[in-house]
Amino acid sequence: MSTTQLLAGSVQLDMSPVDYALLFIYFAFVLGIGIVVRRSVKSSLDFFLSGRSLPAWIAGLAFISANLGAVEILGFAANGAQFGFASVHYYWIGAIPAMVFLGIVMMPFYYGSKIRSVPEYLRRRYNKPTHLVNAGSFAVSSVLIAGVNLYSLAIVLEALLGWSLPVSIFVAAALVLLYVVAGGLTGAIYNEVLQFFVIIMGLIPLAIVAVIAAGGPAGVMDKLSHYPAYWTHPWSGTSIGAEPANPIGDWIGIIMGQAFILSFGYWTTNFAEVQRALSAKNLSSARRAPIIGAYPKIFIPFLVLLPGIVAAILIPDLGHSSDPQKTYTNAIPLLMEKLLPSGVLGVAVTGLVAAFMAGMAANVSSFNAVFTYDIWQTYVKKGRADKYYLNVGRIITILGVVIGIGTAFIAASYDNINEYLQTLFSFFQAPVFVTFILGMFWKRMTPWAGFWGLITGIVTAAAVWAAAIIHPEFFRSPFQQAMWMGIIAAVADLIVSLLVSWRTEPKPISELVGLVKGMEIRDAKADAEGPVPWFKSPVVLGVGAVSLALAMYIPFL
């Protein structure tokens, strides 16, 4: 899928007045929510963490909506058009177990210790150098990812209105900026809940109409019988040296690299996601939030991969044409143009716009919190009044959007936005996951072990990336490369962390309260509300989510 080619010739959608009316009604709701919520933002905690006041279901829907951005919609639809159902691994063993692990195991440390951001945990568990490395790397990665969503949103506006790409980027940035600056995280979260339903309402009719156009479920499966086996059997070709090789990777890379290291690193340490759970009203709600989000995540492949697969069936030269519009990235816009009537097209386009706005808002709102709390307040201006940091947060939101505009043009220079994002995750998420897990479960892990392990992991990932550029034959595909970057970086982090821990002094036990397994802090608000019913237990919900996700593989075996 080529975003560079997409830049040269984006799909022009034939929108009717009804379609435009639906889109502008959505914009009015989004901006209205930001304006209304602004009145409730009275402190920095309100702005950055919604005052820790939201119920589990709102935090859970915002959690998953924040993930439904450009990579999810355009990127994985393109994967469906290029590789069929081979990409379901990113969902069923990639995302779901990690989301459940976050809720059951890691949220008690995050929420119970009252940290305001994920990097703050590293400062309290390790030291300021470790904290600064993580805060800085997260700030960089968040604005890079925000740029991907902004670029994708701008492409949609370009297709709708015929504007140039630069104009579309600036307008898209302004829309997100208005409601995040006005309402902070609360404005972003309530919009993300709205956006979740808009996204689903946009994707469901497209998936249904696409399957019908391809001859129904039986017709789709019959046509796919002529494609490589991994299109319908995701584990086919994953053996080492298998032919034809599965382009997603071998089974070691899929299980250890993607399903464990990269996915756990993303879902459990990425503050753009964890921030939504931290906004919950008590620890019980915070633990349930990511697990609630896991249930709709299980079914997203049928709304994203499936339209991409049908696009490959209905547009035979998709991805192999000299026509700059017929790229894999354009799979969903091309289907929308081809199949959807007036009115339904407006709903689908609004769903796309909602997805990209949710993805960008998630990264911008997490960027402003990390920059304000973890960099500005900690290292630049300490001890100021709370209102000062609230104002800094609003100013930094503007800065984050401006930087996102610049990184949107970086995203436009890459041939594959999904490969681009997977590479970013390999650099930043794999090493930090090892550092977090060792810190949470091993009291002997020392402050300087955290620092040098994290640095080693990032440098090792960069070295593998550089080696792959020089010797591209090392890996089957960029996806396999990202998986093995994660594995090697994590192993390097682990080895260095163990070696340094044996040679340096750990923190006193008294400084580890609330931060290490066995020393968790109980949540008074949750205790006051009493025990939750058994069917709302995070463990019960989590086991159900993982079991359902694994069961989804059965028809594809």
Is 60 exceeded by the pLDDT of residue 1?
A: no
533 located within any domain:
no
**Residue 533, by phi and psi: left (phi above 0), alpha (psi -120 to 50) or beta?**
beta
240-279: per-residue pLDDT in tens?
766 668 888 888 888 988 888 888 988 998 887 888 898 8
CATH number of the domain where residue 253 is located: 1.20.1730.10
Cβ contact 307:331 at 8 Å: yes
- Which pLDDT score is estimated for 140? 82
23 located within any domain:
yes
Is 70 exceeded by the pLDDT of residue 107?
A: yes
Is 70 exceeded by the pLDDT of residue 237?
A: yes
Domain count, the chain: 1
520 located within any domain:
no
Is 90 exceeded by the pLDDT of residue 352?
A: no
138-197: per-residue pLDDT in tens?
888 888 777 777 777 777 777 666 777 777 778 778 877 776 776 666 777 777 888 888
- Which pLDDT score is estimated for 191? 77
- Complete DSSP assignment for 152-221: HHHHHHHHHH---HHHHHHHHHHHHHHHHHHHHHHHHHHHHHHHHHHHHHHHHHHHHHHHHHTTHHHHHH
DSSP conformation class of 280? B
- Which pLDDT score is estimated for 8? 37
pLDDT band at 446 (very low <50, low <70, confident <90, very high): very high
Kindly tell me the sign of the dihedral angle through the C-alpha atoms of 232, 237, 243, 245: positive
Q: Which residue has the tokens 């009537």?
A: 341
Measure the CA–CA gap between 355 and 349, rounded to whole angstroms.
Answer: 10
- Which pLDDT score is estimated for 441? 92
Cα-based angle 48, 97, 436 (whole degrees, multiple of 5): 55
pLDDT band at 407 (very low <50, low <70, confident <90, very high): confident
358 located within any domain:
yes
Is 50 exceeded by the pLDDT of residue 210?
A: yes
Is 90 exceeded by the pLDDT of residue 96?
A: yes
pLDDT band at 356 (very low <50, low <70, confident <90, very high): confident
458 located within any domain:
no
- Complete DSSP assignment for 453-489: HHHHHHHHHHHHHHHHHH-GGGSSSHHHHHHHHHHHH
Range of the domain at 317: 3-418+540-556
Measure the CA–CA gap between 28 and 389, rounded to whole angstroms.
Answer: 29
Cβ contact 268:106 at 8 Å: yes
Is 70 exceeded by the pLDDT of residue 85?
A: yes
- Which pLDDT score is estimated for 459? 92
**What Cα–Cα distance (Å) separates residue 350 from each residue in 54, 75, 146, 337, 401?**
26, 18, 19, 14, 21
pTM of the model: 0.86
- Which pLDDT score is estimated for 424? 67
- Which pLDDT score is estimated for 243? 64
Measure the CA–CA gap between 392 and 368, rounded to whole angstroms.
Answer: 9
Residues 6 or more apart whose CB falls under 8 angstroms from that of 404 comprise 143, 146, 147, 150, 173, 360, 363, 364
Is 70 exceeded by the pLDDT of residue 346?
A: yes
258-277 in b/e burial notation, b at 16+ Cβ within 10 A?
Answer: bbbbbbbbbbbbbbbbbbbb
- Which pLDDT score is estimated for 100? 96
- Which pLDDT score is estimated for 253? 86
DSSP conformation class of 99? H
- Which pLDDT score is estimated for 179? 66
High-pLDDT (> 70) share of the chain, %: 89
CB atoms within 10 A of CB 522: 10
More confident: 67 or 436:
436
- Which pLDDT score is estimated for 331? 85
**Mean pLDDT across the stretch 338-343?**
82
- Which pLDDT score is estimated for 418? 62
Cβ contact 370:116 at 8 Å: no
Q: What is the mean pLDDT of the chain?
A: 83
Residues 6 or more apart whose CB falls under 8 angstroms from that of 528 comprise none
- Which pLDDT score is estimated for 529? 67
146 located within any domain:
yes
Measure the CA–CA gap between 128 and 120, rounded to whole angstroms.
Answer: 9
- Which pLDDT score is estimated for 3? 36
The residue type found at 16 is S
Residues 6 or more apart whose CB falls under 8 angstroms from that of 192 comprise 61, 62, 65, 66, 276, 358, 361, 362
Is 50 exceeded by the pLDDT of residue 6?
A: no
344 located within any domain:
yes
496 located within any domain:
no
Measure the CA–CA gap between 53 and 56, rounded to whole angstroms.
Answer: 10
